[in-house]
Amino acid sequence: MATAPTSTSVEYEVVIGLEVHSQLLTTSKMFCRCPADYANAEPNTHICPVCSGYPGVLPVINEQAIDYIMMTALALNCEIPDFCKFDRKNYGYPDLPKGYQISQYDRPISRNGYILLDVNGEERRIGITRVHMEEDTGRLVHREGKNSYTLVDLNRAGVPLMEIVSEPDIRGAEEARLYMEKLRTILVYLGVSSGKMEEGALRCDANVSIRPRGQQEFGVKTEIKNMNSFRSVERAISYEIGRQIEVLSSGGVIHQETRGWDEDRGVTVSQRSKEYADDYRYFPEPDLPPLVISREWVERIRAQMPELPDAKSKRFVEQYGLSARDAGQLTAEKALADYYEAAVAAGTSADTAARAKAAANWTLGDLRRLLNAGSLDITESRVAPQGLAELLDLIESGKISGKQGKEVLEKAFASGDTPAAVVEREGIAQMSDSGELERIVDEVIADNPKAVEDYHAGKTASVQFLVGQVMKRTRGRARPDMVSPLLLGKLGAP
Ligand SMILES: [Zn+2]
């Protein structure tokens, strides 16, 4: 567990709980038929009387959203009670025309789950308090200037949100980041979230407090908002822990409040005193009946669940003989795991174990380096899985060397041509024509009488020099395993 040493003798324990909001990749909004995807829409074009909060309208529950939340809950090992209900969370804000959000208060869709994390080799179990439904608000666009004003765009209002609340089980900033990363991986695997933190599709608030080690009672917590990357989650929490230690160590008190993360300055800033649940005047949503969730429904969703990252990683170790480390890296992104499996399947190699290992090495090594250099996602790779398989076939058949393979991959990646086309076009191939090679070996022997003499005088190391000369004349195209025997045969006994 992370400890926070201080200048005084008090040692503090860090207590963190995360509230994660994820937009769901549903077709329509939570309670109306407006499209949920507002990314490229003109402001206020995906709206209707329901999501604009007109009086007298009635919400209708989006079944796909409930399916997605249930799927997430099952993936996070949660219980799904027989029924749940919807509540109004009341507050006034310009981006919330109804004056309330429909959320779930005391009867969420699910509760009591957990997520397993690998924190520096140690398995940590972080409790999931609940996964429940919410709806998103609209957006405010502020225009600064002499006559500054604010515009309201309701395209986002009513987009389905899922809130995932953790238990206060997280013990450090790094652990919080690892939790977020694992959670994002799971959501993307399930296909319920785009996982794009930078676009606000996945948002995280952190409740952070510290307490003297050994104390049962929690310290006063602050809530940090506005973290839009994994890096900012770790930095913001790390800063806040340091700030709280400093306040307590100097005899001050922590106030329960909401603090915003200022990415540029690297500090958290007090925003407002924290609301308590009572402030929201939660009450049951009168326009929606409680939702009964049959066991058949739960089982139907369970049957649709895709293979999750932990299971896939385990399978990669068993099926492909990969190390746990390689399997973990390949399965951290679903798209990367899919790419890898497609590349293995596309190959023609008889030695499937060697092929699986080689495909992992190339995917995690040279291919990933090229992707990173271009800030590209694996789905944007200009070498398709079939292309990688083709490259591995070329190397395995001896047509090109491993070193030439790197060059071929780079050229294929840059041009979008297949590796075979690159080899053809650039004339990159190992010289397998033994007649041509023999001619060059004869030339090298004729042109280097001194080295040949040295060899016959017992200086066997001069063979290496002659091999080097052959490689040079063939511009690296000769196969070293063919050159040596050929040379030795021609030179005769030393
Ligand atoms: Zn609508």
Are the beta carbons of 181 and 21 closer than 8 angstroms?
no
Same structural domain for residues 313 and 179? no
Look up tokens 């291919």; give the residue: 367
Which 3 state secondary structure label does DSSP give 471? helix
Question: Do 171 and 187 share a structural domain?
Answer: yes
272 and 369 fall within a common domain: no
Distance from residue 159's CA to the centre of ligand 1 (Å): 9
Whole-number Å distance, alpha carbon 407 to ligand 1 midpoint, is 53
What is residue 6's predicted lDDT score, i.e. its pLDDT? 46
Residues 318 and 248 in one domain: no
* C-alpha 35 to ligand 1 mean position (Å): 8
Q: How many angstroms does the Cα of residue 51 sit away from the middle of ligand 1?
A: 4
Structural domain ending residue among the three candidates 426, 443, 472: 426
Cβ contacts of 265 within 8 Å, gap of 6 or more? none
Q: Which amino acid is at 470?
A: V
Beta carbons within 8 Å of 130's beta carbon, 6+ residues apart: 78, 108, 110, 111, 112, 163, 164, 165
Q: Which of 426, 445, 475 is the last residue of a domain?
A: 426
> Tell me, what CATH number does 457's domain have?
1.10.10.410
- The reply to whether 366 and 438 lie within a common domain is no
Protein residues placing their CB within 5 Å of the ion ligand 1: 32, 34, 48, 50-51
Q: Which of 463, 371, 490, 470 is nearest to 430 (CA)?
A: 470
Pair (280, 400) in one structural domain: no
pLDDT in tens, the chain (494 residues): 455 554 456 899 999 999 999 999 999 999 999 999 998 999 999 999 999 999 999 999 999 999 999 999 999 999 999 999 999 999 988 899 999 999 999 999 999 999 999 898 899 999 999 999 999 999 999 998 888 999 999 999 999 999 999 999 999 999 999 999 999 999 999 999 999 998 889 999 999 999 999 999 999 999 999 898 999 999 999 999 999 999 999 999 999 999 999 999 999 999 877 666 678 889 999 999 999 999 999 999 999 999 999 999 999 999 999 999 999 999 999 999 999 999 999 977 778 888 999 999 999 999 999 999 999 999 999 999 999 999 999 998 888 888 889 999 999 999 999 999 998 888 777 776 677 788 888 888 999 999 888 988 888 888 888 888 888 888 777 777 778 888 888 888 66
Whether residue 327 is found in the same domain as residue 458:
no
The two beta strands, 257-262 and 222-227, are parallel
- Within 10 angstroms of residue 220's Cβ, the number of other Cβ atoms is 15
Rounded to the nearest 5 percent, the helix, strand and coil shares of the chain are: 40, 20, 35
Burial string for 432-442 (b: 16+ CB within 10 Å, else e) reads: eeeeebeebbe
- 150 CA to centre of ligand 1 in angstroms: 22
Please, which residues have CB within 8 angstroms of residue 3's CB and are 6 or more apart in sequence?
Answer: 11, 12, 13, 213
Q: What's the chain's length in residues? A: 494
How far is the centre of ligand 1, averaged over its atoms, from the C-alpha of 87 (Å)? Answer: 19
Evaluated on CA atoms 440, 444, 446, 452, the torsion sign reads: negative
> In this structure, are 226 and 115 located in the same domain?
yes
**In 76-194, where does DSSP find H-type helix?**
173-190
Q: Per residue in 297-314, pLDDT tens?
A: 999 999 999 999 999 999
Does 468 lie in the same domain as 381?
no
Mark which of 254, 274, 300 sits at the end of a domain: 300
- Kindly state the tokens that stand for 27: 């077709």
Asked if 252 and 269 count as a contact pair (C-beta separation under 8 A), the reply is no
Residue 197 CB neighbours (<10 A):
21
Residue ranges making up the domain that contains 451: 434-491
User: Do 213 and 343 belong to one domain?
Assistant: no
d(CA 21, CA 206): 11
Query: Domain check: are 420 and 445 in the same one?
Result: no
What is the tens place of the pLDDT at every residue in 231-251? 999 999 999 999 999 999 999
Q: 295-313 b/e with 16+ CB inside 10 Å = b?
A: eebbeebeeeeeebbbebb
Number of domains in the chain: 3
The alpha carbon of 152 and the centre of ligand 1 are apart by a number of angstroms equal to 15
Q: What string of DSSP letters covers 334-381?
A: HHHHHHHHHHHHH---S-HHHHHHHHHHHIIIIIHHHHHHTT--GGG-
Cα of 484 from ligand 1 centre, angstroms:
76
- Cα(64) to ligand 1 centroid in Å equals 16
Q: Are both 190 and 44 inside the same structural domain?
A: yes
pLDDT on residue 10: 81
Separation of CA 34 and ligand 1 centre (Å): 4
pLDDT of residue 437: 81
